[in-house]
């Protein structure tokens, strides 16, 4: 089941939450900074052992002081006009996070809106890619019971809701 909610992902109690990280995995602004502050300094210590992560890939750590057991870190693509493979990279972020979640026995996972903040990916395109990729993955991997899109503002939430309605109209349905 895919739920779109308004809120702060650091407060969510899914098995895993996703961090829209940068390739250093050593923390940054936006949701990344919020997750590091809420999880505590042990998170940075574990991240240092991972030696970064490529754009579109994902790596997992413990959740430390968060309610979530795991944090899945994925560097989204920086939007550079769309001709640099940004759409395929964003899709691979969502897929790789979902794959890592099930490999680690997670039944519930929460995503922020990857790349649509500091990385300037257009919200409309990003929301369609995210929703379609999640719905398709969930149809193929029924062990995932719940996926949440945690939107930090109303405008973001309304784009994801619209993308979900349009996916359902196109027949990409997942209950």
Q: Active-site residue among 15, 32, 132, 153?
A: 32
**Residue 30: Cβ within 10 Å count:** 17
Strands 108-111 and 16-21: parallel
- Pick from 137, 152, 159, 160: which binds ligand ADP (CB under 6 A)? 152
- Judged by CB under 6 A, how many residues of this single chain contact ligand ADP? 21
CB of 21 to ligand ADP, least distance (A): 8
Question: Which 91-150 positions form the footprint of ligand ADP (CB under 6 A)?
Answer: 112-119, 150
Residue 77 is a binding residue for ligand ADP (CB under 6 A): no
Active site residue 32: yes
* Interface with ligand ADP, residue 19, by CB under 6 A: no
* Other residues' Cβ atoms within 10 Å of the Cβ of residue 131: 27
Q: Is 20 in the site for ligand ADP (CB under 6 A)?
A: yes
List b or e across 73-92, with b for residues whose CB sees 16 or more CB atoms inside 10 angstroms.
Answer: bbbbbebeeeeeebbebbbb
| Interior angle at CA 115, CA 43 and CA 68, nearest 5 | 35
Q: Cα separation of 1 and 20, whole Å? A: 22
31 binds ligand ADP (CB under 6 A): yes
Q: Of 60 and 149, which has the nearer Cβ to ligand ADP?
A: 149
Q: Which spans of this chain sit near ligand ADP (rule: CB under 6 A)?
A: 8-10, 20, 30-32, 34, 76, 112-119, 150, 152-153, 156
């Amino acid at each position: 089941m895919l739920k779109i909610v308004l809120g702060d992902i650091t407060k969510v109690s899914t098995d895993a939450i996703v961090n829209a990280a940068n390739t250093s995995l050593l923390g940054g602004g936006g949701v990344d900074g919020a997750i590091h502050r809420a999880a505590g300094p042990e998170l940075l210590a574990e991240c240092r052992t991972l030696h970064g992560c490529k754009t579109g890939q994902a790596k997992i750590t413990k959740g430390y002081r968060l309610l979530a057991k795991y944090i899945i870190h994925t560097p989204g693509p920086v939007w550079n006009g769309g001709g640099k493979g940004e759409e395929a990279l964003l899709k691979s972020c969502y897929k790789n996070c979902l794959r890592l979640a099930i490999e680690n026995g997670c039944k519930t996972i929460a995503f922020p809106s990857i790349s649509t903040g500091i990385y300037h990916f257009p919200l409309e395109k990003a929301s369609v890619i995210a929703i379609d990729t999640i719905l398709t993955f969930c149809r193929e991997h029924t062990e995932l019971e719940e996926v949440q899109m945690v939107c930090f503002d109303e405008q973001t939430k309304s784009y994801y809701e619209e993308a979900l309605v349009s996916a359902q109209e196109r027949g990409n349905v997942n209950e």
